[in-house]
Chains A and B, each alone.
Chain A
Amino acid sequence: MDWNFLFVNSLNGIIYGSFLALTSLGLSLVFGLGRVVNFAHGVLYALGGYFFIIFLPSLGWSAMLFAPLVVVPLAIAMEWLTIAPIRNRDEIYTLLVTFGLSFMITGAIEYLWGTETTLIKPPVIFQGTVDILGNQFPVYRLFASTLSLLVTGLVFVFIQFTPVGLKIRAITDDNEMAEALGINTRWLLTSIFGGAAGFAAFAGALGAPIFSVEPEMGMGIIIDSFLAVILGGLGHLPGTAVGAFIVALAKSIGGGYIAEWAIAVLFLVVAAIMVLRPKGVFGRGRIA
């Protein structure tokens, strides 16, 4: 067995995992809060990447912050126009609508910016490599995943230790009770939807120099995020982060052939979790 090969792949897995954690977290939060399964979360990530490369020539690396700033209002508009009107219908409609939205937005990206894959170089100060156990590793990867983890950590702190975070946890635990206590879930859901979109877009921008930018990037990450979120338990944030790393490592260890098998097994494990959890991952106690 080639231990070094395994090591490099694992390291790449951890790097992908740190991005996946950030996107999955948003997915998990939005579901926990509003029982909205946001299929379009992936294309918001993609939009982050695209706005980043569009702003890059004029704004330089601050584009990384401006990209999410454009995506957030878009996401809020999306929530107002398509998700809010169907909140009283069966939850499955949120899944259908957001699935349609991801088709739409992927289509819009292809229409506006073409189907090519865009590669960009990391900023000059991060262009070197570092030596890790004899492997030359790009500095930017280490920097970006550290930053991504840092932001993920900040989200945790926000949820755990701020009054708004407390509200969010209260609603996730018991929506009706929270509303009875006078917490305005409607407003909070819209803000969290926007916030989650912002973090997804930031991940897309930050990851652009590593994973490159292409129209289907959102469709790829959304499935991985779903897996991470289900592995970790929907609405359960630390679990979601752990789930993200499991998914990312499974996809990268051993490379090609073994990874294909690992992914098949991963889907099986997730399927098993969904069935074996007493009320199902998405379940609700619905008696008479």
Chain B
Amino acid sequence: MAASPDVENRVEDITRVRSREIATRVLLAGFALLILAVPFLGASPFFITLLTEALIFGIWAMSLDLLVGYTGLVSFGHAASFGFATYAAGIFAMNVSADFFLSTMVAILTAAAVAFFTGLVVTRLSGIAFAILTLCICQVLFQISVVWRSFTGGLDGLIGVPLPTLFGREVEPGEEFYLLTAATLIICYLLLRRVVESPFGKTLLAIRANEDRAAAIGIDVRRHKLVILILSWMTGGVAGTLFVFLKAGANPMSLYWIESGNILAITILGGIGTLFGPIIGAIGFIFIRDQVTTMYRAWQFSFGLAFVLAVLFMPSGIAGIAERIWRRLWPARS
């Protein structure tokens, strides 16, 4: 079959694509500025705290997007990346130093180490088996956090984590901590954007499409899966560090498998494979959950329903729909 005559018409106009790309960047930069400006727009302390939590979940969801969206690995154990980091950062802050950079470093390294050992096993699998295996391993880590009382405080968790310090100065809860979180989110986004656009990031797409085919062009599939798992958990570790400082404590329930399910649903609803979508998903989730539950008892039902509908009818999530509208606004085909 010869190429159809209208092929030329279907080709995207390069300059238009350029202009859309620039417009997208402007939009994202605007969003970043807006996030940073929130405290100066007269938002209430309650709103600030809620948004802080939402942005932390945003970082966490973004880290899961690396696995689910970019590599096609549906993890049901992503709570472990977050929960383990809350303990690592919390225990370090309580006993050694509450310096934000040092605590984050400790959490990231712990997450990386656990991801490495987890990865040695889980990278052998994909699909459903990967999902169930990550769930099992997450539960092992959950059980350990419950049983290892002397270290983790058992079911009570950690209580009394001090405020973080930045360059020797205490970061005040509220607006200051919010700005720290927002800045961290933006940095994480930019770094991960680089990762997914790097040659390494493109090989992940190949693995997602077809592991055998990826191996046949010389990609070491298992090692790539291991590296992305470690990067993903490290990013989840950053989220965990912020969370332990926000809540001034850690709780084993943040390692429980249902948390893994929550963050997975947030990520998919937000729109996988976009990095940006999961942030939107997280903000939506936290606000709707905390604002609406008091008035609207059917929250969990609605969340489940939204997730089911998303999986059935719009696997690309909110970001997918937004992108479609955006493309309509900035058409690149003549």
Do the two chains touch directly in the complex (Cβ atoms below 8 Å apart)?
Answer: yes
Which A residues contact B (CB, under 8 angstroms)?
37, 82, 85-86, 90-93, 95-97, 99-108, 110-111, 219, 223, 226-227, 230, 257, 260-261, 263-264, 267-268, 270-271, 274-275, 280-283, 286-288
CA distance A99 to B261 in the complex (A): 8
Contact flag A92-B133 (CB < 8 Å), given A105-B304, A107-B299: no
Q: Is the CB of B140 within 8 A of A85?
A: no
Q: Is the CB of A260 within 8 A of B212?
A: no
Looking at the complex, which one of A104, A230, A263, A264 makes contact with B132 (CB distance below 8 Å)?
A230
CA distance A276 to B249 in the complex (A): 38
Q: Is the CB of A101 within 8 A of B304?
A: yes
B147 on the A face (CB < 8 A): yes
52-79 of chain B: CB within 8 A of chain A? 74
Residues of B within 8 A of A281 (CB): 129, 132
Q: Is the CB of B140 within 8 A of A267?
A: yes
Looking at the complex, which one of B125, B302, B303, B305 makes contact with A280 (CB distance below 8 Å)?
B125
CA distance A234 to B143 in the complex (A): 25
CA distance A90 to B140 in the complex (A): 28
By secondary structure, the A interface counts as helix
Instruction: Give A272 Cβ to nearest chain B Cβ, in Å.
Output: 8
Q: Which residue of B lies closest to A262 (CB)?
A: B143
Task: Using A257-B147, A267-B136 as known contacts, list a sample of 14 further A-B pairs with CB atoms less than 8 Å apart, ordered by residue number in A.
Answer: A96-B311, A97-B312, A99-B261, A99-B307, A103-B265, A106-B304, A261-B147, A263-B143, A267-B139, A274-B133, A274-B136, A281-B129, A283-B125, A283-B129
Residue from the set B124, B140, B302 with the largest chain A CB neighbour count within 10 Å = B140
272-297 of chain B: CB within 8 A of chain A? 297
Contact flag A82-B136 (CB < 8 Å), given A100-B265, A103-B307, A111-B301: no
Residues of B within 8 A of A230 (CB): 132
Contact flag A102-B127 (CB < 8 Å), given A95-B74, A223-B139, A286-B212: no
Query: 27 interchain pairs (CB within 8 A)?
Result: A37-B128, A86-B312, A91-B127, A92-B127, A95-B128, A95-B131, A97-B308, A99-B261, A99-B265, A100-B307, A102-B304, A103-B301, A103-B303, A104-B308, A107-B303, A110-B297, A110-B300, A226-B135, A264-B139, A264-B143, A264-B144, A270-B136, A271-B140, A274-B133, A275-B124, A282-B128, A283-B125
Looking at the complex, which one of A90, A95, A107, A226 makes contact with B302 (CB distance below 8 Å)?
A107
Q: Which residue of B lies closest to A94 (CB)?
A: B128
Residues of B within 8 A of A93 (CB): 311
Instruction: Give B214 Cβ to nearest chain A Cβ, in Å.
Output: 13
By secondary structure, the B interface counts as helix
Contact flag A275-B257 (CB < 8 Å), given A103-B265, A230-B132: no
Range, interface on chain B: 35 or more
Q: Is the CB of A271 within 8 A of B127?
A: no
Q: Is the CB of A267 within 8 A of B311?
A: no
CA distance A257 to B308 in the complex (A): 37
| Pair count A-B, CB < 8 A | 129
Instruction: Give B24 Cβ to nearest chain A Cβ, in Å.
Output: 28
Which B residues contact A (CB, under 8 angstroms)?
74, 121, 124-125, 127-129, 131-133, 135-137, 139-140, 143-144, 146-147, 212, 257-258, 261, 264-265, 268, 297-305, 307-308, 311-312
Residues of B within 8 A of A86 (CB): 311-312
Residues of B within 8 A of A274 (CB): 125, 129, 132-133, 136
Instruction: Give A236 Cβ to nearest chain B Cβ, in Å.
Output: 16
CA distance A260 to B301 in the complex (A): 31
Residue from the set B265, B298, B304 with the largest chain A CB neighbour count within 10 Å = B304
Instruction: Give A165 Cβ to nearest chain B Cβ, in Å.
Output: 25
Contact flag A104-B305 (CB < 8 Å), given A260-B147, A267-B139, A287-B212: yes
Q: Is the CB of A267 within 8 A of B137?
A: yes
Q: Is the CB of A271 within 8 A of B302?
A: no
Q: Which residue of B lies closest to A35 (CB)?
A: B128
Contact flag A271-B137 (CB < 8 Å), given A96-B311, A226-B132: yes
Q: Is the CB of A288 within 8 A of B127?
A: no
In the complex, the 9 A-B pairs of residues with the closest C-beta atoms, listed nearest first: A104-B304, A107-B300, A103-B304, A107-B301, A264-B143, A100-B308, A100-B307, A282-B129, A267-B140
CA distance A99 to B146 in the complex (A): 25
Residues of A within 8 A of B144 (CB): 264
Residue from the set A102, A271, A288 with the largest chain B CB neighbour count within 10 Å = A271
CA distance A16 to B299 in the complex (A): 32
Looking at the complex, which one of B128, B133, B147, B304 makes contact with A107 (CB distance below 8 Å)?
B304
Q: Is the CB of B143 within 8 A of A92?
A: no
CA distance A114 to B110 in the complex (A): 40
Q: Is the CB of A275 within 8 A of B140?
A: no
Residue from the set A230, A267, A287 with the largest chain B CB neighbour count within 10 Å = A267
Q: Which residue of A lies closest to B137 (CB)?
A: A271
